[in-house]
Structure 1
Amino acid sequence: MVAALFGCWFRVGGARSALVGPVIPVGRTVVQISMSRSQVVLLGLGLLLILLLYVGLPGPPEQTSWLWGDTNVTILAGLTPGNCPIFYREVLPLPQARRVEVVLLHGKAFNSHTWEQLGTLQLLSQRGYRAVAIDLPGFGNSAPSEETRTEAGRAELLQRVLRDLKVHNAVLVSPSLSGHYALPFLMRDHQQLHGFVPIAPTSTQNYTQEQYWAVKTPTLILYGELDHILARESLRQLRHLPNHSVVKLRNAGHACYLHKPQDFHLVLLAFLDHLP
């Protein structure tokens, strides 16, 4: 290949040599490039390496959309009544409504809009679920509230939101920070919940093994494989819930629903579809 490309081999008195390279015309002058044998070999090896690298390099990564749902689903928005209104986004079931309704909380760096961007609200609507995503007090479009200073206040706030929005047979999805609200509610009012989906929530260490044993709510414990701190700590406590299953999302971190949205949605829908 090298000889064909560069024409650098010729004979002098019957012997082969590698002293002359290609002949390149420059105007009316002919310039002859001299190359040593070692230079020719190195150049040939370099070209071969480039060729191998070009063939062996992987193609560009697949472009995956963050949004995984029908963008044509209508998303309603509003504020709950009362002195400390809570902002919410809501979708209604497109086909025949299923029994349970999904309430989506959020982590510290997020708000209800996250579930719209991710396509979770749209997807739940397509599958026949009414779904409500709320902005916790002090996040998104919800003002801070003094009520959230106590555990009882946070549980009562969540209970009031469900009552104001006429949510029945609720399945509560609680990632990260929102465990600060979901767990007090679970311990006090778990009879109102038809299902619970904790995603590495905070505050799990605040309750005893006996308190967890008393909760009979069907629970899907979700966490990311790469979340080595909060996921492990919460899993250690949540395993005391008597009616639970555990799913670990591979190659996903703390906000596993963002890192692996399709896997998250498939697991969530499977849990919801099989609730009695």
Structure 2
Amino acid sequence: MLLVRSRLWLLLLGALLALLLYLLLPAARRSRPDEGKRAWWAANGTVRTGMAAGEPPVFYREAPAAAAGPGRPDVLFLHGQAFTSKTWEALGTLALLAGEGYRAVAIDLPGYGDSPPMEMALTAQGRRAFLDRVLQELGMQRPVLISPSMSGRFSLPFLLAHGDRLAGFVPIAPVGTKDFTAEQYRAVQTPTLILYGDHDTGLAPQALQNLQHLPKHRVAVLSGAGHACYLDKPEEFHRALLGFLRQLK
């Protein structure tokens, strides 16, 4: 009798476990974000999207726009060497632009943040192709490209080759400006806001010297700000950026 009771208890226990697994597993599957689909966390979205066959995914953050304004361009944020897409999230830039009706997206460049390294990022041609694929994957047509410091290695080759695919360009003391000639810059018709802090005595003067050859440029200098001027003077930075975005057609 004792043996029979033990077997009955084991059968009941097994049935209960099977029922729990049946109920819990579908819920787990439903709650798991699929690759390439958006998963919203708090105000901002974190998304992984496939780049191309054989390429690892890129990580990016996007603040959902409350009401997208008609004719307003998308805005894509790159980052400097010591930063990631989190910088623009923490600074409130993504949320600010989204509140103004812009689709604002910040990505982690290859090998930074949550984006794995990519072999294609080793050459200027590969970095240009990388941005091309990012725009395709994000469905961005003629966005405004924000490019501080190190990200100039990505943005400048793209600007020089595909400037007509950008509604605007905002270089913030980018590296690599001396790699191109004045004639190459003069051929670019992309509206540009050259932005830097007046305490940046390293990259900013060199970048200004080269980028001033862009025919459709204007300059904004943030007083009392250093190389990462958007961190030193966020309100002034946001004001200058929004002013530039609003005058684009």
Matched with 1:79 is 48
Q: CA RMSD in A?
A: 1.2
Cα deviations by residue, 1:77-99 (Å, 9 ceiling, x for unpaired): 11121322110101232123342
Could you tell me whether the CA contact under 8 Å between 1:73 and 1:125 is conserved in 2? Answer: no
Match of 1:216 among 185, 189, 193: 189
Match of 2:101 among 83, 106, 128: 128
Could you tell me whether the CA contact under 8 Å between 1:92 and 1:129 is conserved in 2? Answer: no
Matched with 1:18 is none
Please tell me whether residue 256 in structure 1 is matched to residue 229 in structure 2: yes
TM-score normalised to the size of structure 2? 0.80
CA–CA distance in structure 1, aligned partners of residues 212 and 56 of structure 2: 35
CA–CA distance in structure 2, aligned partners of residues 80 and 236 of structure 1: 37
CA–CA distance in structure 1, aligned partners of residues 181 and 237 of structure 2: 29
What are structure 2's unaligned runs of at least 5 residues? 1-40
CA–CA distance in structure 2, aligned partners of residues 264 and 180 of structure 1: 22
* Structure with the higher strand share, 1 or 2: 1
Please tell me whether residue 103 in structure 1 is matched to residue 84 in structure 2: no
Could you tell me whether the CA contact under 8 Å between 1:173 and 1:198 is conserved in 2? Answer: yes
- Residue 74 (structure 1) shift: 2.3
- Residue 175 (structure 1) shift: 0.2
CA–CA distance in structure 2, aligned partners of residues 168 and 158 of structure 1: 12
CA–CA distance in structure 2, aligned partners of residues 267 and 88 of structure 1: 24
Match of 2:163 among 190, 194, 218: 190
Please tell me whether residue 173 in structure 1 is matched to residue 142 in structure 2: no
Please tell me whether residue 94 in structure 1 is matched to residue 66 in structure 2: yes
Cα deviations by residue, 1:186-240 (Å, 9 ceiling, x for unpaired): 0111111000000000000000001000000000000000000100000000000
After TM superposition, which residue ranges in structure 1, 4 or more long, deviate above 4 angstroms?
none
Is the radius of gyration larger for structure 1 or structure 2? 1
Percent identity reads 52
* Structure with the higher helix share, 1 or 2: 2
Cα deviations by residue, 1:74-128 (Å, 9 ceiling, x for unpaired): 2111112132211010123212334200000000000000000000000000000
Could you tell me whether the CA contact under 8 Å between 1:73 and 1:122 is conserved in 2? Answer: no
What are structure 1's unaligned runs of at least 5 residues? 1-71
CA–CA distance in structure 1, aligned partners of residues 45 and 88 of structure 2: 13
CA–CA distance in structure 2, aligned partners of residues 213 and 247 of structure 1: 20
Task: Tell me the matched-pair count.
Answer: 205
Could you tell me whether the CA contact under 8 Å between 2:59 and 2:107 is conserved in 1? Answer: yes
Could you tell me whether the CA contact under 8 Å between 2:68 and 2:103 is conserved in 1? Answer: no
TM-score normalised to the size of structure 1? 0.73
CA–CA distance in structure 2, aligned partners of residues 223 and 208 of structure 1: 21
Q: Per the alignment, in what secondary structure is the counterpart of residue 197 of structure 1?
A: strand
CA–CA distance in structure 1, aligned partners of residues 109 and 160 of structure 2: 19
Question: Pairwise mapping of residues 231-242 of structure 1 onto structure 2 (< 5 A)?
Answer: 231-242=204-215
Q: Per the alignment, in what secondary structure is the counterpart of residue 196 of structure 2?
A: strand
CA–CA distance in structure 1, aligned partners of residues 192 and 100 of structure 2: 20
